[in-house]
């Protein structure tokens, strides 16, 4: 079973760590639309490079993995 998340990729050159912003659900292979009360901008500190970057909703991309959300997963909105 694959699960889909909204993700962003760290914009620090050479880092490219993927951050998981929100759980969408089981991967149904369909197109995903952003839902809910999104802020205009997200601030997120990268655990790998330590830098804080800002991301807009347009930066969010669906990403599918074989991992269900871990306990305590903090969603961005």
Distance of alpha carbon 73 from alpha carbon 27, whole angstroms:
18
Q: Does 46 bind Zn ion (CB under 5 A)?
A: yes
Contact residue for Zn ion among 23, 48, 65, 75 (CB under 5 A): 48
Residue bearing tokens 């830098």: 51
- Near Zn ion in 13-32, by CB under 5 A: 15, 17
Rounded least distance, CB 27 to Zn ion, Å: 26
Nearest distance from C-beta of residue 15 to Zn ion, angstroms: 3
Strand 61-65: give its sheet, edge to edge: 18-26, 3-9, 61-65
């Amino acid at each position: 079973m694959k699960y889909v998340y909204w993700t962003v990729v760290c914009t620090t050159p050479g880092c490219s760590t993927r951050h998981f912003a929100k759980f969408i659900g089981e991967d149904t292979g369909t197109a995903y639309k952003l839902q809910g009360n999104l802020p205009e901008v997200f601030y997120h500190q990268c655990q790998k490079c330590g830098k804080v970057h800002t991301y807009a909703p347009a930066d969010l991309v669906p990403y599918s993995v074989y991992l269900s959300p871990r306990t305590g997963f903090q969603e961005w909105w």
